[in-house]
Amino acid sequence: MKKLGKKILAAVLTATMTLSLAACGGSKQTSTDTNPSADSATNKTTNDGGLDTSKHVTVKFVVLGNRPTNGRLESMLKELNTVLTEKVNAELDLQYVEWADWQTQYNLLLASGDSSIDLITTATDWLDAWPNIKKGSFMPLTHDMIKTYAPNTYASVTSEEWEKCSYDGQIYLIPENHYTQYTNHGIFYRGDWAKEAGLSNINNFSDLGKYFQFVKDNKSNVIPWDVSGTAANGNALASGYVQSTTSNIVIDGVPIGLSSIYYGASKDDAYTVTSPYMEGTSFEDFAVLMKEWADAGYWREDVLNYDGDTRELFKAGASGADQHHTQTYVTDVRPNMDIKQPGSDTQMFSFSEPSKNLVKTSITHGCVAIGASSKNAERALMVYDLLRNDEECYRYINYGIEGSDYIINDSGELDRPDGWDQSIDALESNFWCGRNDELELPNARHYKGAADIYADYDTYAIDYPYGKFVFDNSKVSTQIAAMADVCANYIPRIAFGKVDDPKAMVAEFREKLKAAGYDEVLNEVQTQLNESK
């Protein structure tokens, strides 16, 4: 929307919000914030100061992941919507952006301006929140609006946290700021097999290679790492090696397609921009090692075209490894491997271990936004407030139906009914933008060693240095698009060793990035980062 149109709309909606709050007894209002809601009629105030929810609405919520087909989601939503209808006369509909080509599909959906979309799962580090804000995909929110329609959520977010969720003076994001998690990546491997290989603990790429070789030599019908060579997996492996072998800190707000190749030099020099993909020997060393691993047969020959589910193969004993982050390890992989592969003693090699190079998870790693064209913005905030803060609604959206999806054992812990299998029976509602430690049930099936892992990370993890940095790519959007094509073409091949001469391929990759505009983008990132101090 053009600036003039925004100003006109803002003026009209400011008046609407002022009248609405006046009806609530808001005679002391002094805020000049604008209320950008496209349709205030659905939530007018009543004469007695309450919120008018007489009109029943459906709130559509965009989430990430493959929509489950086991019927559990539909059963849960039926129960949850009964409660939501009773409390705010609304019901919830989840719209899934599935993992196949998820980034492209997600951004296309947001760019469509679909007025039926109300709540949107987003993130500043992996879901392009800032670019989508600048494209006009999200609705700007005011303090008054959030305080009125999501009062419990508003009270739980500090002024500094609201600032981290704002762009150009307007709030666009509501953070998942009350949920403990670490989302640093690494490799999951079988501790029992590692011990057989003479490895008491794997905490570097060299020992990981020894483990893969042992699996290849000694475990029949098992592929050491039966990985799908997607761009996402290739980027995770490449960035993991960089994290393990350098002190560079990735700047998440400058995505080059699925890659993040611009880094701060170190935690002590975070505002000097560099790229380990272009400078130093780390990325060359990575390419050479991955070529060795590919030639040794640690993954399939057709890895770049393979689309198998590595995690399920790992749980079935057909893969010797899997890759993802700590949260996945403690909540899914370790506990389910203990069930499906008893005695496997599954461990995690965190990519941060060799270098002690780790940043804490940002509060905007998971957050919610309102669709720019939403017709039910206020009611959507009311629904979100319930999902995040109301115990009954929270348990439905996160755990499902008690007795069918979960039980509470004699110790007051969340457990599962007899015969429950996550691979088959999981709810998969994927509410990743409003989880709340105060309402979380201790999970009997989560890995009990999680606290020790978090405590270890806490000894060296630093706060993310770039939480308030919002990169404006308008001057270099053409270069970024060209670089994204280069990364998509080269990084998966380099990461999975599908090259003849790895050093020559890295040199060619760097030349292509230079030609695409690498230096122009670096200079722009450096300039804006300096200005953000």
Tens of pLDDT, residues 142-154:
999 999 999 999 9
**Tens digits of residue pLDDT in 278-298:** 999 999 999 999 999 999 999
For 73-78, what is the mean pLDDT? 98
Structure tokens at 104: 């492209």
Structure tokens at 396: 């439905």
Let me know if the fold of 3-16+32-180+364-399 is the same as that of 185-360+467-532: yes
Residue that has been written with the tokens 């998971």 in this structure: 366
> CA-based angle 209:215:217, to the nearest 5?
105
- Does residue 275 have a pLDDT over 80? yes
- Does residue 109 have a pLDDT over 70? yes
Instruction: Please tell me the distance from the alpha carbon of residue 206 to that of residue 203, in angstroms, as a whole number.
Output: 9
Contact call for residues 70 and 369 (beta carbons, < 8 A):
no
Amino acid at 279: E
For the chain, percent of residues with pLDDT exceeding 90: 84
Structure tokens at 281: 């020997």
- Does residue 55 have a pLDDT over 70? yes
pLDDT band at 44 (very low <50, low <70, confident <90, very high): low
- Does residue 38 have a pLDDT over 60? no
DSSP conformation letters of 20-46: HHHHTT-TT---------S-GGGGPBP
Angle, in degrees to the nearest 10, between helices 502-516 and 282-296: 130
- Does residue 159 have a pLDDT over 70? yes
Q: What is the pLDDT of residue 23?
A: 33
Q: How far is CA 209 from CA 287, 334, 438, in A?
A: 14, 21, 42
Contact call for residues 347 and 189 (beta carbons, < 8 A):
yes
- Does residue 508 have a pLDDT over 70? yes
Instruction: Please tell me the distance from the alpha carbon of residue 332 to that of residue 413, in angstroms, as a whole number.
Output: 16
For 396-406, what is the mean pLDDT? 97
pLDDT band at 43 (very low <50, low <70, confident <90, very high): low
Q: What is the pLDDT of residue 253?
A: 82
- Does residue 48 have a pLDDT over 50? no
Contact call for residues 386 and 393 (beta carbons, < 8 A):
yes
**Tens digits of residue pLDDT in 193-232:** 999 999 999 999 999 999 999 999 999 999 999 999 999 9
Identify the residue with better confidence: 505 or 128.
505
For 115-142, what is the mean pLDDT? 94
Instruction: Please tell me the distance from the alpha carbon of residue 509 to that of residue 337, in angstroms, as a whole number.
Output: 39
Amino acid at 522: L
- Does residue 52 have a pLDDT over 50? yes
CATH 3.40.50.300 for domain 3-16+32-180+364-399: no
Residue that has been written with the tokens 């929270």 in this structure: 394
Instruction: Please tell me the distance from the alpha carbon of residue 298 to that of residue 505, in angstroms, as a whole number.
Output: 21
Contact call for residues 85 and 337 (beta carbons, < 8 A):
no
Q: What is the pLDDT of residue 502?
A: 98
Domain 185-360+467-532 sits in which CATH superfamily?
Periplasmic binding protein-like II (3.40.190.10)
pLDDT band at 532 (very low <50, low <70, confident <90, very high): confident
pTM over 0.85: no
**Tens digits of residue pLDDT in 408-446:** 999 999 999 999 998 899 999 999 999 999 999 999 989
pLDDT band at 382 (very low <50, low <70, confident <90, very high): very high
Structure tokens at 315: 């749980």
pLDDT band at 467 (very low <50, low <70, confident <90, very high): confident
Q: How far is CA 244 from CA 273, 354, 456, in A?
A: 19, 6, 16
Q: What is the pLDDT of residue 112?
A: 94
- Does residue 46 have a pLDDT over 60? no
- Does residue 13 have a pLDDT over 70? no
- Does residue 379 have a pLDDT over 90? yes
Q: What is the pLDDT of residue 162?
A: 96
- Does residue 488 have a pLDDT over 90? yes
**Tens digits of residue pLDDT in 317-326:** 999 999 999 9
For 69-92, what is the mean pLDDT? 98
Domain ranges of the chain: 3-16+32-180+364-399, 185-360+467-532
Burial 61-81 (b: 16+ CB within 10 A, else e): bbbbbeebeeebbeebbeebb
For 123-145, what is the mean pLDDT? 94
Contact call for residues 487 and 258 (beta carbons, < 8 A):
yes
Contact call for residues 369 and 138 (beta carbons, < 8 A):
yes
